[in-house]
Amino acid sequence: MPKLRAGEIVGRIQFRAGGSAFIVRESVEGVAAEPSLQIFPEDTGVALPGDRVLAREFPGRRGKRPGEKIGGVIRVLARERDTIVGDLRRGRRGFVVVPDDPRLGREIHVGDPTKAGISPAPKEGDKVAVQLGEWSRRELPLPGTITSRLGRTHEPQAELLGIFLKYQLSKQFPEEVEREAAALPTSVQAGELADRLDYRREVVFTIDPDDAKDFDDALSYEVLPAGEVKVGIHIADVSAYVRAGSALDREAQRRGNSTYLVGTVVPMLPEKLSNGLCSLVEAQDRLCKAVFLTFDARGKIRDTSYANTVICSRKRLTYKQAYALLFTDDLARIRALPLPPKHQTGSTGRALRDLSDLELRDLQTWIRALWKIASQLRRDRMAHGSLDLDMPETKIFVDEQGYADRLERIDQDESHQLIEEFMLAANEAVARLTRSQKLPSLYRVHDDPDPDRLIELRGLLATFHITVGDLSHRAELVKLLKTLSHHPQGYTLRTQLLRSLKKAAYRHTADGHFGLHKKDYTHFTSPIRRYADLVVHRVFEHYLEKSAGRSVAAIHRAGYDLPRVERLGEHLSLTEINSTEAERDSVKVKLLEFFERELAKKPLTRFAAVITDVRSNGMFVELTESMTFGFIAATALKDDTYALNDAGNALVGRKRKHRFELNGRFDVVVDKVDRFKRLIDFVPA
């Protein structure tokens, strides 16, 4: 870090769509976090989104909010990225590239694409990658050099390649990694079963999304002689195949996690492992690491134990099937549910329609018994102050050509909650174990929120006529979440609440999880797609070896000590952020694609919407099914001339007095889609 003068800070600059920006200060140990430094467009210098910059506060200038400080960029210390993806166009003075990211705010001037040495030569309307050149003064053009042609702009493959390049993702693995994966067996070998509890004849099954391919977790269910219930949370034992220090391990660590883009996945592990040898598919022997929780008649945890296991899943269930088994007694209706794709059921798996009445009733009994326990865990968790931050999601399905074809709202219903509660319990149990045993490990940490951010949130809520107390008190946050659960702008405001909280991260110290209100928490249940879980599995294995009196060399082979897990935590927190941003980018691109394709339909599809904000020039709406946001211009309301009322919460027609009021609900159709500005305009249906 450079030596700072009075009023200077170092941090990452983030831009808004209008060109203004703010700088998130770099944390300095022992120094309390300060509010972000706000930057006007003319004071951003030659900084680009995400750059590490040196900035100076302007003394005496204050922002609109309490404590808000204003400043300007002195110089760029490091570019966030030097490759930009965008659309090639012919400008007034030559060729330019319009970046995909609207926050970049300026065109990149490039030379004649026919002389770029690329075959075929890029042409106007192509999606291209550009290497940024030296940019020393803001008033000069931003220069760049075309390095590759990705395809025609807005074609699915070109858009996907653009995201791969922007976030440095690749579905391809290095040759050395592929060789190691190819050398692994295709099934569990007899010699691998030593010292494992055999659960292949016990009640074990999985519950996952319809289109899941990598099954990390399974549940087992046993009724003990004294009437207690023993639930096993069996997690794929990736560490049995991915040895510390191997090429597979190094590449998995570099990737950090799988990245789930719309229509495809960039896996952390090669397919032979992620969808094959490690995936807990139906009717196949699989190696696991397990947490066993024994519950008494009141649903309270009486005992916790740990083991390596081998399982053979009896059934691969989807969430929809599990939900039906929970709440539907009509077996014919259950059998009629859609099947997951054949390659996702397990090579010898049977469909629900092929099960006998007795088999279905048994399955239903087990799932309902598990939900009875899970629902008690959930009630207890919420009663102790855990925040219900679950949000509905919009899943985008693509057609065979890769175009966005269908939207589906996914709610966190009881079938999801059943799995969630047992995974949370297992993660907490393992975190408590590694902390109490003083083993170097990773923890999932969620720090307490910044009080200033909560004050800002309180002010925002007041504009929606929601009165809350001091949000730094957990009880007030719990109360607010209940209010938002049935508020017309609940999704929008819950999103704002989430933004007011700090990001969860990986750390080598068990510093607690604010959202869950847990002292001990880690990630243990998804080692196929998260490297942090694989690290915890290796630490878990060390505990099992030590407690069994066997060799304790495993921890040294893995090389985990406190400095190393600290570095791993920092690295994995960054790879997670990168994947999250790529996934959001992918969703934005595909939502725009979906609604642009809607414009070609006759008649236009009607979407239910709610008004979330009213301005003099129009109103913002949210589609209630897909949670997509858009704008309706006042000039698009053709039946009258509309103006903002004195209260600022409604557009009112001057002649007919019709009102479009905050929280109002009506149907809309798509009017216009701007793929470059990433904006969608609607009109009333």
3-state SS of 255-307? HCECEEECCEEECCCCHHHHHHHCCCCECCEEEEEEEEEEECCCCCEEEEEEE
Identify whether the C-beta of residue 480 lies closer than 8 Å to the C-beta of residue 387: no
Instruction: Report which of 444, 433, 431, 428 is spatially closest to residue 543, judged by C-alpha positions.
Output: 433
Common-topology check for domains 83-166 and 599-684: yes
Q: CB-based contacts of 269: which residues, under 8 Å, 6+ apart?
A: 181, 238, 242, 248, 252, 258, 278, 528
The three state secondary structure string of 421-467 is HHHHHHHHHHHHHHHHCCCCCCEEEECCCCHHHHHHHHHHHHHCCCC
Fold observed for domain 83-166? OB fold (Dihydrolipoamide Acetyltransferase, E2P) (2.40.50)
pLDDT score at 492: 85
**Phi-psi region for residue 75, left (φ > 0), alpha (ψ -120 to 50) or beta?**
beta
CATH number among 3.40.50.450, 1.10.3210.10, 2.40.50.140, 3.40.50.920, domain 599-684: 2.40.50.140
Q: Which of the 8 DSSP states describes residue 401?
A: T
Cβ burial, residue 302 (10 Å; 0-12/13-18/19+): middle
Give the residue carrying structure tokens 């302007």.
58
Report d(CA 486, CA 479) in Å as an integer: 12
CATH number among 2.40.50.690, 3.40.640.10, 3.40.50.200, 3.40.50.720, domain 8-78: 2.40.50.690
pLDDT score at 25: 83
Q: Could you tell me whether strands 83-91 and 126-132 are parallel, antiparallel, or unpaired per DSSP bridges?
A: antiparallel
Identify whether the C-beta of residue 513 lies closer than 8 Å to the C-beta of residue 504: yes
- Helices 562-598, 531-547: crossing angle, 10 deg rounding: 140
Q: Where are the domains of the chain?
A: 8-78, 83-166, 175-444+515-590, 449-501, 599-684
Identify whether the C-beta of residue 105 lies closer than 8 Å to the C-beta of residue 89: no
Report d(CA 637, CA 654) in Å as an integer: 12
**SS3 of 177, please?**
helix
Q: Which of the 8 DSSP states describes residue 605?
A: P
User: What one-letter code names the amino acid at 373?
Assistant: I
Within 13 A of 194's CA, how many CA atoms are on the CB side? 3
Q: Tell me the backbone φ, ψ of residue 264, rounded to 5 degrees.
A: -160, 170
Q: For residue 637, how many other CB atoms are within 10 A of its CB? A: 18
pLDDT score at 342: 53
Quick one: CA torsion of 389, 392, 398, 403, rounded to 10 degrees?
-90
Identify whether the C-beta of residue 5 lies closer than 8 Å to the C-beta of residue 55: no
* Residue/partner pairs of 174-181 with CB below 8 Å, 24 or more apart: 174/247, 174/251, 176/247, 177/247, 177/248, 177/251, 177/270, 178/270, 179/247, 180/246, 180/247, 180/248, 181/248, 181/269, 181/270, 181/272, 181/273
Cβ burial, residue 336 (10 Å; 0-12/13-18/19+): exposed
Q: Which of the 8 DSSP states describes residue 591?
A: H
Identify whether the C-beta of residue 440 lies closer than 8 Å to the C-beta of residue 560: yes
Q: Which of the 8 DSSP states describes residue 678?
A: T
Report d(CA 474, CA 483) in Å as an integer: 14
Question: In 329-413, which ranges are continuous DSSP H helix?
Answer: 331-335, 357-383
Within 13 A of 138's CA, how many CA atoms are on the CB side? 15
Which H or E run includes 9?
strand 8-15
Q: Which of the 8 DSSP states describes residue 409?
A: E
pLDDT score at 548: 82
**Which mean pLDDT values do the consecutive 10-residue runs of the chain (685 residues) have?**
83 88 72 70 93 91 73 94 93 91 90 91 95 93 95 95 95 97 96 95 94 94 94 98 96 98 96 96 96 94 97 95 94 84 53 89 96 97 94 91 93 96 98 96 96 91 90 94 88 90 96 97 98 97 87 58 93 96 95 96 94 93 91 95 92 94 93 92 95
Report d(CA 498, CA 505) in Å as an integer: 15
**Phi-psi region for residue 684, left (φ > 0), alpha (ψ -120 to 50) or beta?**
beta
